[in-house]
């Protein structure tokens, strides 16, 4: 679990990032999950744009992505989700505290 200070640090790092993954109308597919896992392994901190109908569906999609990837949600604003998952073999981001 990330503490408040670590989440704030990650939010600062994520501010200038652009979404690198977009969910489509098909929802969460095996290919989408493979892309997300690859991106997390490579970058550790990513933005995902969730293109789903309503707020409740976006929340469900975000929760499902976090559960399937083991990533920590750092921030969610509207349809953009910021995720963090430490790369155990080659960590790129050092967290405070």
Question: In the block, which residue shows the tokens 């989700």?
Answer: 81
Which of the four pLDDT bands, split at 50, 70 and 90, describes residue 29?
very high
Express each pLDDT in 15-28 by its tens digit: 999 999 999 878 89
What pLDDT does 67 receive? 97
Side by side, the strands of the sheet bearing 45-50 are 21-23, 45-50, 80-84, 72-77
Tell which residue, 62, 93, 91, 96, has the closest CA to residue 79: 62
Q: Which class does domain 4-84 fall in?
A: alpha beta
Distance between CA 68 and CA 7 in Å, rounded? Answer: 20
* DSSP character at residue 27: B
For the chain, domain boundaries: 4-84
Tell which residue, 19, 11, 12, has the closest CA to residue 73: 11
pTM for the model: 0.93
């Amino acid at each position: 679990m990330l503490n408040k200070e670590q989440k704030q640090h990650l939010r600062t790092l994520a501010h200038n990032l652009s979404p690198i993954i977009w969910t489509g109308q098909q929802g969460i597919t095996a290919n989408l999950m493979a892309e997300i896992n690859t991106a997390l392994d490579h970058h550790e901190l990513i933005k995902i744009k969730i293109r789903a109908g309503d707020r409740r569906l976006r929340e469900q999609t975000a929760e499902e992505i976090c559960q399937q990837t083991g990533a920590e949600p750092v921030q969610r604003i509207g349809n953009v989700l910021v995720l963090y998952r430490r790369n155990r073999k080659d960590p790129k981001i050092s967290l405070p505290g």
